[in-house]
Amino acid sequence: MKFFVDTADIDAIAELNALGMVDGVTTNPSLIKKSGRDIMEVTKEICDLVDGPVSAEVTATDADTMIAEGRKLVEIADNIAVKVPLTWDGLKACKVLTDEGHMVNVTLCFSANQALLAAKAGATFISPFIGRLDDINLDGMDLIGDIRAIYDNYGYETQILAASIRTVNHVTQSALVGADVMTAPPGVIKAMVNHPLTDKGLDAFLADIKAAGIKIL
């Protein structure tokens, strides 16, 4: 499964990228706002830092303006994926931008029917929001599984990008159910290394090393 990092924090992206943990980046206006920087400037810096797709979101809601904004965003770098909402106008924009050869990430997906429409419109990525479904007592993993089955049934090439990931368990479950990509905040990705038995084992090793007076350097 590919790892995208969901942030506009350059330092956090660079740290994870140096470890080979970044296959792409997802951003949105809220994340850009947190960075306190110009959207075009910070997006360009991210694109220069990573080799994989960088999702940059449009701000308009009508198709014509989304298309115009998408065309502006792809001028930033070759690895830009234009992020559009899963609305009828968003699908129109997706179709046009895809036909022009650009990557498109269709976001805010909450049903299998929506995902099917996005695939038909040629989306590069479909972003089902797991955490937000969990918030209303629906199982986000069920949606990922349904989309996986539908796409596999008909050979759609749209990649399932599990989004709104809030816990390390979301990452595991997304991988098990067959998501192609997951995007998560840096803190969630870094938390994947944690396990109490690892900590316990390390403490025991260190105690033994100290008692034996073992030194390598």
Of 54, 63, 101, 107, nearest to 81 by C-alpha is: 54
Of 133, 170, 125, 173, nearest to 151 by C-alpha is: 125
| pTM of the predicted protein model | 0.93
pLDDT at 32: 81
**Which residue positions in the chain have pLDDT lower than 70?**
none
Catalytic, out of 33, 83, 95, 120: 83
Of 12, 43, 49, 10, nearest to 29 by C-alpha is: 43
SS3 215: coil
pLDDT at 38: 84
Instruction: For the chain, list the domains and their CATH numbers.
Output: 2-212 (3.20.20.70)
The long-range contacts involving 31-39, CB below 8 angstroms and separated by at least 24 positions, are: 31/6, 31/7, 32/8, 34/8, 34/9, 35/8, 35/9, 35/10, 37/8
Distance of CA 135 to the CA centre of its chain: 19
pLDDT at 28: 83
92 is catalytic: no
pLDDT at 125: 98
pLDDT at 136: 95
pLDDT at 37: 80
Q: DSSP letter string over 33-81?
A: HHHTS-HHHHHHHHHHH-SS-EEEE----SHHHHHHHHHHHTTS-TTEE
pLDDT at 33: 78
